[in-house]
Amino acid sequence: MVKNLLTILLVSFLMTNFILAQNASVKIHSKQLVDDNANVTYVEKHNPSPVIINGESIGVTSNYDYFSNSVIRDQIVYDEANDVVHCFNMVRPWQGAATRHAVHSFKSGGQWTNQSVSNGAGGWPHIDLGLTGSLAGTVGMVWHTPSRLSIWDGSTGYITAQFDPSTDPSVQMAGETIWLATSGGRAQFKFYQSTDFGVSFVNWDSISAYHPSPIWWAGNGGVEVGMSKSKNEQYVVYFGTNEGVSGGGAHVYNGVPETEADNFWLISSTDAGATWTGKMIAPDGKFDLVSGYHTPNYVPLFENFGQVDMAVTNDGVFHAVANGYGLVFNATRDTAIGNSFPVLYWNSASNTWKAISDPAIDNIREISSYYPTNSIGQAYPSVSVSDDGQVVYVMWTGPQLNSQGGLDTADNGAGTQYYWRDLYHAFSTDGGNTWTYGGKFPGMSNTLSEVFGHAAQHLQQVNPTTYRAHIIYLADQTTGVGPFDNQLTNNDLIYATFDIIITSADPTPVASTFELAQNYPNPFNPSTNIKYSIAERSNVTIKVYDMLGNEVATLVNQVQDAGTHNVVFNAANLASGMYVYTITAGNFTATKKMMLLK
């Protein structure tokens, strides 16, 4: 256990193997990692307590104004059964202690209770709530260094055990199993499980087991491994970013094959962890990856600022968001001419990337010169979903703008100009097909940097037309200061909510076209999801055939209303091999192939 010492290592690592034709002004930025291995002398600034316009302080402040290096940490969950909000945050100082603590805060009966779980130095926390089986209602919390799990059920205190000697842990509970991950000393992502309530742990796999196919891995592209699950706990996913070559810089526009580039990946289970399937969901530097992007010749660089998040719905659709920092090239695609900074969204049903942020902010080129720490562009997005997958909510940290629409900058007190930050958000009520841009989160202050906004991955359905996001964020009193330049302020941690209300002007989503999506996962074992859309009420038939043309299953045979639908195909009784599935809906027919691997 680290004793009474907060240490921070500034690690700058340059992207290698980068070829940028004839334009040195366009930047591939270096990430900075906050670590635990170097002594730092702090100069602390005590500002008057800020006025919180939207939300309430949870009762703790932190001068460690940083939540995450890369993958967005789950730091809030909502226990709907008991109407309790749980937060788990990194706090420094803690009740006069100079060390960093991992603090569990929960609100019950209108009151906040705050308790240090680490009982000493501890950081980079992640929280989950058991929703089914014997773990239902149990809170699981992890932090480092080393990586430890703490179990809390409200009556037995905190039961803590170490499961890995290294750093950056994550946790999700599904049924009777606790799933865990670490960065493997920031060298090789590792995955763990415990089936005995955290008494013992099994290191069941690592990212290298999925290399070279289906996931290319030369090194960890980010620090943390993200984890999410569906509310029914049937679907569980690990996710993160990888380097295609050591040090990064393996981009498709450089001639690197898509299968060997830096990448954004997931490893998912459709059966509560009994089996797992890996998939690369985006390579770095690919032209035309983002559908209908407003600026031509844009390429996202997922690994360089690998701030990504995922959420999963009960129908097994995986929803992902990413800091879309990337490059814009000229018409001939041989010279990079600038940067663009969108928030990007993807889901496994459509397998399509799209931008959901404001193009006017995406293309503010000055962001490259004035961004604080790792908050480049529109950073640290988190995604939340309703149980049925129809409502999707995304929140992120973006630049605060002045009255002319430019960056609102200030001196950080050390002679450097940075922009202030605000929280932004967007939502979809048709499963991520179309988006409503919400702009700034309500009540942002011009005298604070509201940062690291993170909503619980599952939205609360308050009533048939209202969905509520439960949110934690940091009200930072300065901009551009913190662990990176040793000037710290005491900043409130804020709890807030946001309601998405589906009105008569925002009806139940209806598909505008007929479409048959690629099944997911693919390959699969033993079950997979088939999503399809019908533009009008039709008699729908979906059948599965083997490669000899023999019908092996009828999945749908009924009249269905217009909209987007999903059907699960369970092939437990079939042999491995290629199969074909077809849809007939009115005059529309389509066919796709899928692979069963046992």
> What are residue 149's DSSP bridge partners?
142, 161
pLDDT tens readout for residues 103-158: 999 999 899 999 999 877 788 899 999 999 999 999 999 999 899 999 999 988 89
DSSP state of 432: T
Segment 457-498, tens digit of pLDDT: 999 999 989 999 999 999 998 888 766 666 678 899 999 999
Side-chain half-sphere of 120: how many Cα atoms within 13 Å?
Answer: 9
- Residue 119 DSSP label: S
The confidence score (pLDDT) of residue 66 equals 80
Q: Is the predicted pLDDT of residue 205 greater than 80, yes or no? A: yes
Average pLDDT score over residue span 28-51: 51
Mean pLDDT of 32-46: 48
Q: 């799209």: which residue's tokens?
A: 354
Give me the pLDDT at residue 512, please.
57
Predicted confidence (pLDDT) at residue 100 exceeds the cutoff of 70 = yes
Here the tokens at position 447 are 């005298």
Structural domains of the chain, ranges and CATH numbers in brackets: 43-501 (2.120.10), 515-596 (2.60.40.2550)
**Is residue 338 pLDDT above 50, yes or no?**
yes
Amino acid in position 91: V
Q: What is the pLDDT of residue 355?
A: 97
Cβ-contact 454, 472 below 8 angstroms: yes
Q: What pLDDT, in 10s, does the model give residues 353-409?
A: 999 999 999 999 999 999 988 899 999 999 999 998 999 999 999 999 999 999 999
pLDDT at 586: 87
Name the average pLDDT for the chain: 87
559: pLDDT strictly greater than 60: yes
Six token digits for residue 496 = 């807030």
> Looking at residue 237, what is its pLDDT?
98
CB 319 within 8 A of CB 385: yes
52 has a pLDDT exceeding 90:
no
Q: In this predicted structure, what is the pLDDT of residue 485?
A: 63
- pTM for this entry: 0.81
Task: Kindly give, in sequence order, each residue whose CB lies less than 8 Å from that of residue 77, ignoring residues fewer than 6 positions away.
Answer: 85, 86, 127, 128, 129, 139, 456, 457, 458, 470
Q: How far apart are CA 73 and CA 309, in angstroms?
A: 8
Beta bridge partners of 385: 392, 458
Distance from C-alpha of 139 to C-alpha of 136, rounded to nearest angstrom: 9
Q: Per-residue pLDDT averaged across 176-185, rounded?
A: 96
pLDDT, tens digit, 9 for 90 and up, residues 493-513: 999 999 999 875 444 444 557
The reported pLDDT for the residue numbered 189 is: 97
Kindly state the average pLDDT of the residues 426-447. Answer: 93
Query: What is the pLDDT averaged over residues 558-580?
Result: 88
pLDDT at 18: 31
Output helix, strand, coil percentages for the chain, rounded to the nearest 5: 5, 45, 50
Using only C-alpha atoms, the chain has a radius of gyration, in whole angstroms, of: 23
pLDDT at position 41 is 42
Q: How large a percentage of the chain has pLDDT more than 70?
A: 89
CA-wise closest residue to 258 among 281, 240, 276: 281
For the segment 335-344, the average pLDDT, to the nearest whole number, is 97
Burial of 387 (0-12, 13-18, 19+ CB in 10 A): middle
The 3-state secondary structure of 443-466 reads CCCCCCEEEEEEECCECEEEECCE
User: What does the block give as tokens for 325?
Assistant: 């920092």
Question: Which residues, other chains included, contact 320 with Cβ-Cβ below 8 Å and sequence gap of 6+?
Answer: 239, 264, 266, 281, 308, 309, 310, 345, 346, 347, 383
